Chains A and B, each alone.
Chain A
Amino acid sequence: MDFLLEPFRYEFFSRAVVVGMMAGLLCGVMGVYITTRRMSYIAHGLSHAILGGAVLSYVLGLNFYIGSGIWGFGAALLIQYLTSRKIYSDAAIGIVTTASFALGVAVISTYRKFSQNFEAALFGNVLGIGPTDLWIVTGVTVALLGLIFVFYRPLLFWCFDREVAQVHGVPVFAMDTLFALMLAALLVATLQVLGVTLIISAVVIPASISRLLSDRFGYMMVISGTVGAAIAFVGIYLSYYFDIASGASVVLLSTLVFGIVLSWTRFQRRKKRYISPFHPERPL
């Protein structure tokens, strides 16, 4: 038993597990909106764009969360603007996010002193999370889950059928902005756990697992959030014993779980399709 509880003797590890689980929960819940709206590429691109904001905040001496959050929100709005000006959405994402990422890389190459921070931003450093980060991630988790609770109906309608939602009085432009803000807050808050390169897996994989298990949006959010938190817990825990990067551990574990659920649901579907040779309604 002592062997199993050993990592929790370290305060930094306990903090990492709590923050990782909150990030997993949040990414899982938000991931349902992102995948069903076919916005995975935006989330992936924005996580890269935020690097530019993070580096600039560091250079200008601004708070990381505020600087990166405003930068990410601005990038999301710029993508929306370009999409409304005849630019295809994937092209708009490509333009805005790579430009922002390149800006980050350019500044880093000029100020060579923070190469370690750059690696942490790329691949995450959940074990380097301090008490302030813990409070910020908790605050963002509570705020975003609260917003999802309050705006569940208009967000669902907006997500399913934006045009008809507008006819029924849903303020769709406000929803676009709110969701861009929520997405930026999600990515900034969880960036330190998985880093810009791996964060998309925490958004997409639990949501895809929940899609395999449910046909109802509300249930999907519950499943996806639970799966995201559970995978984060087990992934970070295993990373301690196998001595691998915690971000990579979480991603590999979630991919494994996805593979198992995919196989299981396929098997279940085939089992349901099978008609016994002794079935009275079996065609001759």
Chain B
Amino acid sequence: MKPILEVKNLACGYQTQPIFTQVDLALYPGQLSGLVGPSGSGKSTLIRAILGLVDPWAGEIWFRGKRLRPGAPPPKVGYVPQVETVDWSFPVTAEEVVMMGRYQQQKLWPWPSRRDRAIARELLSRVGIEHVAHQPIGELSGGQQQRVFLARALVGEPELVLLDEPTSSSDLHVQHELLHLLADLNQQGLTILLSTHDLNSVATHLPWVMCFNHGLICQGQPIDVFTSHTLERTFGGEMVVFHQADRILIASGLTSLRHQLKRNLPPELHQPRSKSL
């Protein structure tokens, strides 16, 4: 099978500072993958480079067998940005946000058509939030906002969807629901790549993970990839991996955990108790 997306020998940076160099990776049609790494490791830069938002210093990006021009987004791609970058006070409803994603399907008439509205409604229904279609985007819950952006990414009928830290500011329940939704969409044939630094609640639930820290460290199924050795290389600290049945639990190393506990104790508990006479 030919990959839908190929990144060859890619290097990116800001100003004169390189963020990563010599990155090679491939995504195959129907793959659901996670790009895992600590904050500041270059995950978002890699996603932005794939989308043409950052000009690479070197290397090539291929989509469906065609080389992309630097700075050009791949055709048929959806993107869900980090929620921190969104202006939540902007006066638009959930439906209007989703319809923005229909821009490339715009015909001669410059305003949204009935068909655009119907498709936006269908997408909102598919992600389970049709009832908030007319609500301002800023009044929705974090999980609903995330689904609106997912619907916008899907409304242009993409072959590949990239999500940048989709679960970073949501609680466990919302994370769980979003992962289920992504798994359902993936079952329907959509190729998905999401970035995350959250190992336990997100990364271990993905069928394929790529460990990334200023370069690709390793990739594979979580059960093979998530070892103390690779996680220490990725996250730069002591990591302990517990396997129970088909589940994986990852904790920061015991030494650092002990240090952390000690740091968080109130000062009086660090002091030796004074002897009372």
Contact = CB atoms under 8 A, between A and B. Distances in A.
B236 to A, nearest CB: 29
Given A153-B110, A161-B81, A215 B93 contact: yes
A216 B93 contact: yes
23 contacts: A36-B90, A154-B103, A156-B96, A156-B100, A157-B103, A160-B87, A160-B90, A160-B92, A161-B81, A161-B85, A161-B86, A161-B87, A164-B152, A166-B53, A166-B73, A167-B53, A168-B103, A169-B104, A170-B103, A211-B91, A215-B91, A216-B92, A216-B93
Nearest to B51: A167
Contacts of B79: 164, 167
B10 to A, nearest CB: 18
A151 B109 CA distance: 10
Given A153-B103, A153-B106, A168 B156 contact: yes
Interface string A208-228: 000100111100100000000
A217 B103 contact: no
B110 A150 contact: yes
Interface string A221-255: 00000000000000000000000000000000000
A116 to B, nearest CB: 42
Contacts of B103: 153-154, 157, 165, 168-170
Contacts of A168: 73, 100-101, 103-104, 156
A267 interface: no
A163 interface: yes
A58 interface: no
Interface in B93-128: 93, 96-97, 100-101, 103-104, 106, 110-112
A88 interface: no
Interface centre among B91, B96, B104 (most CB of A within 10 A): B91
Interface string A130-153: 000000000000000000011111
Contacts of A215: 91, 93, 136
Interface centre among A151, A163, A214 (most CB of B within 10 A): A163
Contacts of A167: 51-53, 73, 77, 79
Nearest to B106: A153
- Nearest 3 CB-CB pairings of A with B: A215-B136, A157-B100, A167-B79
A166 B74 CA distance: 11
A166 B91 contact: no
Contacts of A151: 110
A163 B47 CA distance: 12
Nearest to A35: B91
B135 to A, nearest CB: 8
Contacts of A149: 110
Using C-beta atoms within 8 Å of the partner chain, give the interface range for chain B: 20 to 34
Interface of B: 51-53, 73, 77, 79, 81, 85-87, 90-93, 96-97, 100-101, 103-104, 106, 110-112, 136, 152, 156
Nearest to A151: B110
Interface of A: 36, 149-154, 156-157, 159-161, 163-170, 211, 214-217, 220
**Chain B binding surface, main DSSP class:** loop
Nearest to B73: A167
A170 B136 CA distance: 23
Interface centre among B81, B97, B100, B101 (most CB of A within 10 A): B100
Interface centre among A150, A161, A168, A211 (most CB of B within 10 A): A168
A216 B73 CA distance: 29
B210 to A, nearest CB: 21
B256 to A, nearest CB: 36
A160 B100 contact: yes
A138 B196 CA distance: 54
A216 B92 CA distance: 5
A235 to B, nearest CB: 26
A149 B110 CA distance: 7
B120 to A, nearest CB: 13
Given A156-B96, A160-B87, A168-B103, 11 more contacts: A150-B110, A151-B110, A153-B106, A157-B100, A164-B152, A165-B100, A167-B73, A216-B93, A216-B136, A217-B90, A220-B91
B53 A160 contact: no
Given A152-B111, A163-B85, A217 B53 contact: no
A36 B103 CA distance: 20
B95 to A, nearest CB: 10
A55 B85 CA distance: 41
A103 B40 CA distance: 45
A211 B91 CA distance: 8
